[in-house]
Amino acid sequence: MGDDRGIVLRTEGLTKHYGGVRALEAADFELREGEHVAIVGDNGAGKSTFVRQITGVEQPTAGKIFFEGREVAFKNPIEARNVGIETVFQNLALADDLDIPSNLFLGREKVYFNLGPFSVLNERLMLARAKDALNTTGVKIPDLRAKMRNMSGGQRQCVAISRAASFASKLIIMDEPTAALGVQETAQVENIIRRLKARGIPLILVSHNLRQVLDLVDRIWVFRRGRIVGALDRDKTTGNDVVAMITGVTAGGEAAFV
Amino acid sequence: MAEVAGVVKETPSANARRRTWPPELNIFIGLVVIAAIFEILGWTLQGQSFLANPARLQIMILQVAIVGIIAVGVTQVIITGGIDLSSGSVVSASAMIAMSFAQTSTYARAVYPTLTDLPVIVPILVGLACGLVAGLINGLLIAYTKIPAFIATLGMMVSARGVADWYTKGKPVSFPTDAYAAIGAGFRPVLIFLVIAIIFQLILRYTLYGKRTYAIGSNENAARVSGINVERHLVLVYAIAGLLAAVAAIVVSSRNLTAQAGMGFGYELDAIAMAVIGGTSLAGGRGSITGTVLGALIFGVITSGFTFLRVDAFYQEIIKGIIIVGAVVQDVYRQRLRGRI
């Protein structure tokens, strides 16, 4: 099994086939404590497939996942969440007709006393905690009681990330968090990510944006056609190396193989 | 860039406006306007007041109260993004079965000649159980087989009507005990409707049940990945809708002193209409019981107003249909508008 000390998440030969399609093939991946890594690759390279396997959205065809040294097999995202893995999905899992506190606490609402489904919600507590959560992530939204529907893409993304950040104790995974955002909003999301780094919470960032990746993370894992083709240290690499590895056109990229 | 800044700046004021102007207020204004139109038409066409007639208002409120009870359940179903077409048939089946346990011994041809003069709680519980079972079947089918709610409840609509027909081979069930007859007597249907409406308005607004109901209708996938047991919740919502249809069944059979297989016909559509006119979105995620109560009143004013103006019953149905479609069209339009923001 090797020595898993200092390793938060590790996969061994992780494989996912959809019928005949080999979306992910024998992925060996690792994430160290406090480390921020990026997963990059072309469309269909297997990035999102990989994320779906480690967050329990789907179950792998083969291979093993180790979280904090123990082998895990999440049957659903809730199991992953219960051990401290929070995910911000590409299609934001927000309820548009609910306000911010309701979305932050969706599925883990605070109640006054337990009456099963008819438990009375402690809205005051959730509102206060929501304010705190947005403060620690540095998100400014004027009206917390407004419905998500009425918010901009950036505000929505910030809420989704705040939800993950305020509950994730051990690992946050973000799938293309800034794909649909403007410049200003992207900067805000990047700031949240920097704060997470400062708090020592490990992060897996799936991104197409190489400038962002080189700016934010410690290591870059490159996927190509369902395989992990390399992991590059941010400090020892350039954008060209990464592009070469993504496209498979070698330009000295091979040297950076781990 | 300028566009982004514009959006950010604009949002708070838009939010503030929406919050000070609850959607129910629009519906209330609609109610007032419609009532005023009938009042004016009353004076010009009939030479008398439409509203200043206590007897007419009383009949109108009693009429909407019974379907209103159903609409409280249907509203919750629609908020989850579903639909319930079975309520009318569930009313007839539950009423027939409940009534058969409520008959007096003075009537020689009771359904169960040995089971007459039972305490009133027996028919009530039997009736509620019928509605609950129908609702549970609806919910289980929808939640676990993933067939569309439209199909599942359409099946129940046909089957429950079949049960009502089969139960007495088409014969009506009459002659309830005095205690049973008292349930829906006088103004009680209105009282029962209002109590149920208030209870469920509070539950929807302040409990986990309500939050989950809105969350599922708003984004079922988000609800699921957030850890909400969507299936179990849907079963609960449909079960409650079935239970409320049974309440309506007991009230209406008690009031009419008889139950027959044809009763409750069209109630499901009237209940859906009340919910939709009251601002509940057929797309799910939005709506309230307060809105549905106002929707029920609008529905009642229109029905009673047409009768008052001596509009032919056939035209009434046509116009009612147009109003329902109109309510849905403006909901769809409003959603598109919001989508663009």
Q: B211: which chain A residues are within 8 Å (Cβ-Cβ)?
A: 98, 102, 106, 109, 121
- Asked whether the beta carbons of residue B207 and residue A120 sit closer than 8 angstroms, the reply is yes
Name the one residue in this structure whose structure tokens are 């509102």: A127
Q: Are A136 and A165 in contact (CB under 8 A)?
A: yes
- Asked whether the beta carbons of residue A107 and residue B228 sit closer than 8 angstroms, the reply is yes
Q: Considering only CA atoms, which of A87, A94, A90 is closest in space to residue A146?
A: A94
Task: Assess A57–B contact: CB distance below 8 Å, yes or no.
Answer: yes
Does residue B262 register a pLDDT over 60?
A: yes
- Asked whether the beta carbons of residue A154 and residue B4 sit closer than 8 angstroms, the reply is yes
Does residue A145 register a pLDDT over 80?
A: yes
**pLDDT tens profile B11-45:** 444 444 445 578 889 899 999 999 999 999 999 98
- For the ranges A112-126, A139-153, B40-54, B127-141, the one whose mean pLDDT is highest: B127-141
Residue type, B144: Y
pTM of the model: 0.86
**ipTM > 0.85?**
no
Interface test with B, best of A150, A157, A166 (most B CBs within 10 A): A150
For chain A, the average pLDDT equals 87
Sign for the CA dihedral angle at B15, B17, B18, B19 comes to positive
User: Secondary structure of chain A in the HEC alphabet?
Assistant: CCCCCCEEEEEEEEEEEECCEEEEEEEEEEEECCCEEEEEECCCCCHHHHHHHHCCCCCCCEEEEEECCEEECCCCHHHHHHCCEEEECCCCCCCCCCEHHHHHCCCCCCECCCECECCEECHHHHHHHHHHHHHHHCCCCCCCCCEHHHCCHHHHHHHHHHHHHHHCCCEEEEECCCCCCCHHHHHHHHHHHHHHHHCCCCEEEECCCHHHHHHHCCEEEEEECCEEEEEEEHHHCCHHHHHHHHHCCCCCHHHHCC
Q: How far apart are CA A192 and CA A204, in angstroms?
A: 14
Q: Say which residue, A228 or A90, is predicted with more confidence.
A: A228
Q: B18: which chain A residues are within 8 Å (Cβ-Cβ)?
A: 146-147, 150
Task: Assess A251–B contact: CB distance below 8 Å, yes or no.
Answer: no
Name the one residue in this structure whose structure tokens are 């960032």: A205
How would residue A169 be classed by pLDDT, with cut points 50, 70 and 90?
confident
Mean pLDDT of B153-169: 95
Mean pLDDT of A70-97: 86
- From the CB of residue B169, how many other CB atoms can be counted at a distance below 10 Å? 7
Task: Assess A143–B contact: CB distance below 8 Å, yes or no.
Answer: yes
Q: Considering only CA atoms, which of A37, A22, A30, A17 is closest in space to residue A234?
A: A37
Q: How far apart are CA B185 and CA A74, in angstroms?
A: 57
Mean pLDDT of B81-86: 96
Mean pLDDT of B271-289: 93
How would residue A257 be classed by pLDDT, with cut points 50, 70 and 90?
very low
Sign for the CA dihedral angle at A135, A139, A142, A143 comes to negative
The residue count of chain B comes to 341
Whole-angstrom CA distances from A73 to A11, A57, A168, B68 are 11, 11, 19, 49
Estimate to the nearest angstrom the gap between the alpha carbon of B36 and the chain centroid.
Answer: 25
Q: Are A234 and A176 in contact (CB under 8 A)?
A: no
Interface test with A, best of B208, B229, B288 (most A CBs within 10 A): B208
Does residue A100 register a pLDDT over 90?
A: yes
Q: How far apart are CA A106 and CA B227, in angstroms?
A: 8
Task: Assess A118–B contact: CB distance below 8 Å, yes or no.
Answer: yes
Q: B1: which chain A residues are within 8 Å (Cβ-Cβ)?
A: 182-184
Query: Quick one: tokens of A47?
Result: 């990035």
Give SS3 for B53. coil
Mean pLDDT of A172-197: 87
Question: Chain B interface residues facing chain A, Cβ-Cβ under 8 Å?
Answer: 1, 3-5, 7-8, 11-12, 14-16, 18-19, 203, 206-209, 211-212, 214-215, 217-219, 221-223, 225-228, 233, 236, 285-286, 338, 341
Report the run of H or E that residue B195 belongs to, with start and end. helix B188-206
pLDDT at B4: 39
pLDDT at A2: 52
Q: A184: which chain B residues are within 8 Å (Cβ-Cβ)?
A: 1, 4-5, 8
pLDDT at A90: 66
Query: Quick one: tokens of A243?
Result: 């592009």
Among the residue ranges A18-22, A92-96, B5-9, the one predicted with the least confidence is B5-9
pLDDT at B2: 38
Q: Say which residue, B189 or A241, is predicted with more confidence.
A: B189
**pLDDT tens profile B89-147:** 999 999 999 999 999 988 878 889 889 899 999 999 999 999 999 999 999 999 999 99
Question: Which of B4, B15, B236 is the closest to A185 by Cβ?
Answer: B4
Nearest CA in chain A to B230: A107
* Residue A227, beta-bridge partner list: A224
